Structure 1
Amino acid sequence: MPLHYIPVLARKPGALRNGAPFREWELPVPIRRVWRKLERQPGGDRQMVDILSAVLTDGIDAVEAACAEALSHNVHSAGVVLNILARHREPPPPLTITTPDALKLACEPIADCNRYDSLRRTQNGKIRGNRRDGKAEALRNEGRL
C-alpha cells in the first residue's frame, strides 16, 4: 500500500482513479467496497482521499473497521467513516489544573436551596413566603406588577 502517495492525493484526488501507483493497490475488502461505492458519486475521489488520509493517523486496521461499520449501516460517505473513527479514538487524558493559593476560597459559601424553592411556591396566584417586599407587593396587589 503506497501510503507515501497520500499527501499527493490530497492535492490531486483524481490521481486515485487514474494514477499508475493506485491501479494495483491492494486495499482491505471494506475499504475497497467503500471506494467502489464512492467512485460512482461526484466528489467521491475527494471523499476516498479523506478516508485514506485517516490511515496515516489512525492506522489501516482502524480505518478498515470504520469502513466495515459504515457499510453495515448502509452508508459509505467519508463524513460517516471519519465520525466512526473519531468516536473510537481514546480520549486524551484530562488536564490537571492546580488552583493557585491566591484564588482558593478562604470561606466556602453554603448553599441554601430553600430560598429558591420559596420563590416557586404560590398560593392563589400570590407568592408565599415570610418575607414582604413592601412597594412591590403593593404594586402586585393593584395589578400593575
Structure 2
Amino acid sequence: MSIRNKIKNFFAMDDEYEYIEESVEYSEPERNIKRDNVVTLKSIEKTNSRVVLCEPRTYNEVQDIADNIINRRAVVINLQRTDHQQAKHIIDFLSGTVYALNGKMQKLGSQTFLCVPDNVDVTGSISDSLLEEEINKGW
C-alpha cells in the first residue's frame, strides 16, 4: 500500500461506508398509570355529578345527608320544616362532616344551605341583605 492510500484510509476519505440497519421496537404506553397531577379523560367521564335536595324534619336524618356528602355529592338542605334547635344540631353535624372532607358549606337562603365536597367548585355569592335578616333571627 502506498503512503497516499494509507493517509486516505487513515482520514477515511474513501467512499466505502458500512451501513448497519438497526430495528427499533416501540411499545404502546400503559394507559392505567396513576400520576398525582394528571387526570385522564376517562376518569372524568365516569364521575357522576349529582345534587341531592334534602328537607330533614328531625336530627335523625342527618346521617343520610352526611353519607351523600361523603359519596362526593353536593347537597342542598332546606331546614324550614325543622325545629330551630334541631336545625342548629343538623348544621353543626354537617359542618363537621364538610370540614373533615375539605369541602365547603354556604348559606343560600334564610334556612337553606349548600354542602359540597372538595371536588365541587362553588362560584358566586348570595346578597348580604339576607345576612342582616338572619342576624336578627339568630341563625
TM-score range for the pair, normalised by the shorter chain length: under 0.3
Highest Rg: 1 or 2? 2
* TM-score, length-scaled by structure 1: 0.19
* TM-score, length-scaled by structure 2: 0.20
Q: Per residue, is there more helix in 1 or in 2? A: 1
Q: Per residue, is there more strand in 1 or in 2? A: 2
